[in-house]
Structure 1
Amino acid sequence: MSSERATPGQWLPGDVTPVDLERLLWGLVALSLIADIVTTFVGLNLGLAESNPAARGAIESHGVVGMLGLKAFAVGVALACRPLLERAYRPIVPAGLAVPWLAAAVVNMYTISTVLSSSH
């Protein structure tokens, strides 16, 4: 079996194009970014600590503005690198932002829930 002639569009279900997928993933970037920021600051207000050293430094020196700046920088780098890829492969750019931010938000929610359940 060979995938030499396969294109990313062949991997997508139905009528979903790489452009549609990329649009959907940029929406997921926005949601995961908000979820990560909100859950981070809820956790910090409960006495938890930020484990990411870059985020911790940004938050300690500039608060929520520092966190927003850090996220804006990441999105800016992603947008600057996006044109370097063929159109069919561009959905990897927002996926590369959304997946770790979504994972961080899930870990944050789990950690917050354990703190809240142990306080009752």
Structure 2
Amino acid sequence: MSSDGAYTRLRVPVSVTPARLEHLCWALVVVSLVGDVVTTFVGLHLGLAESNPIALRAIEGYGLLGMLALKGFAVGVGLLCRPLLPEEYRPIIPAGLAIPWLGAVCINLYMISLVV
């Protein structure tokens, strides 16, 4: 660590470019998306209920395809907004998708553990 006036900066031992960070975040989006879809449908199969009203309607109306379309729409919006940001801020787009989906995976796993 080094001190720059009143701020402390942590030096990462590896060179992480914004582009590399963005790629890692998009990989996390894929993992979290798959995890959310799988744990949601496992939970539904075990008798749990979907708490997101938009996802509930998509699943009730179209099943897995509805859920995938909903996730695809979210990813599409992220991809459309991506060019609007400077390169160093672009990792926020996939992070903004992955973090809530990872939270959903954790909640789903917890709920599944209560009924299994």
TM-score (norm 2): 0.90
Q: Which residue number corresponds to residue 93 of structure 2?
A: 93
Matches within 5 A, 1:1-120: 13=12, 14-116=14-116
Runs (5+) with no aligned partner, structure 1: 4-9
Identity of aligned residues (%): 60
Higher strand fraction (1 or 2): 2
CA distance, structure 2, for counterparts of residue 42 and residue 98 of structure 1: 20
Runs (5+) with no aligned partner, structure 2: none
Structure 2 counterpart SS, 1:103: helix
Q: Render the CA deviation track for 1:55-104: whole Å, top value 9, x for unaligned.
A: 00100000000000000000000000000000000000000000000100
Q: CA RMSD in A?
A: 1.6
Distance 1:29 1:11, change over 3 A: farther
TM-score (norm 1): 0.87
CA distance, structure 1, for counterparts of residue 43 and residue 11 of structure 2: 37
